[in-house]
Amino acid sequence: MKVIDIFNPKGGNGKSMVAINLAAASVELGKKAMVVCQDPQGTSILYGKGGNMPFSVVSDIPKSKPDVDVIIFDHPANVWDIPEGNLLVMPFKPPRDQYATFIDAYKKAEAAGKNIVTIVTDTNQHRRDEVELTKAMKKKGAFVLPSSGVYGRAASEYRTIFDPALNKAYKISERRREFLQLATHVLIEVK
């Protein structure tokens, strides 16, 4: 079983969006997935309650080993303790204040010997500094999830971007491809 921790102590960087859609991408790749929502805001739990998830979403760590291939922990904001798992997926937005917090957390995770997968989310294409940082991070191996209305539409209906109800959404195939590439990387390529 693969354990993936979605972690960034700064709020609003897309941890829950990544957790939910990474779980859905895992299902698309033939894996059984579970999301453990540890965020007091309960964003992932709201998705689970919406009833449209092809995987389970729980608020507590299961007491016995679940019958799944991948468990994704959606960690809360404002918590600087590095998760226990070996694989951290760290989304962040590129504005300077968001990046500064990410770098501090990244250095702590790196010092703890974690495997870290970085994701740049929601780059404002009208901000030169954000565009340049995104390009630099991509050169270093970061995944990039561009701003897209499909994420807002999916969120408003408590769906993942893989839900068939979104099959005709603008640029849906590109957004799905990005998440499938991310899922392939974290499930198969990262040991």
Residue 181 has a pLDDT of 97
Radius of gyration over every alpha carbon of the chain, rounded to an integer in angstroms:
16
Task: For residue 91, count CB atoms less than 10 angstroms from its CB and return exposed for 0-12, middle for 13-18, buried for 19 or more.
Answer: buried
Question: pLDDT-based confidence at 92, cuts 50/70/90?
Answer: very high
Q: Report the distance separating Cα 118 and Cα 106, nearest Å.
A: 9
Task: Quote the pTM value.
Answer: 0.96
Calculate the alpha carbon distances from 167 to 23, 58, 133, 159 in Å.
Answer: 18, 27, 32, 12
Domain definitions of the chain by residue range = 2-75+86-189
- Residue 91's nearest CA partner among 102, 83, 80 is 102
Contact 48, 72 (CB under 8 A): no
Class assignment of domain 2-75+86-189? alpha beta
The number of beta carbons lying within 10 Å of the beta carbon of residue 62 is 13
Residues 28-82: tens digit of each pLDDT: 999 999 999 998 889 999 999 988 899 999 999 999 999 999 999 999 999 999 9
Residue 101 has a pLDDT of 95
Contact 45, 22 (CB under 8 A): no
- Asked if residue 111 has pLDDT above 90, the reply is yes
Residue 51 has a pLDDT of 82
- Asked if residue 191 has pLDDT above 80, the reply is no
Residue 139 has a pLDDT of 97
Residue 98 has a pLDDT of 93
Question: pLDDT-based confidence at 131, cuts 50/70/90?
Answer: very high
Q: Report the distance separating Cα 159 and Cα 50, nearest Å.
A: 8
Percentage with pLDDT > 90 across the chain = 95
Contact 15, 7 (CB under 8 A): yes
Residue 190 has a pLDDT of 87
Question: pLDDT-based confidence at 26, cuts 50/70/90?
Answer: very high
Residue 7 has a pLDDT of 98
Instruction: Please give the average per-residue pLDDT across 133-158, as a whole number.
Output: 95
Residue 68 has a pLDDT of 98
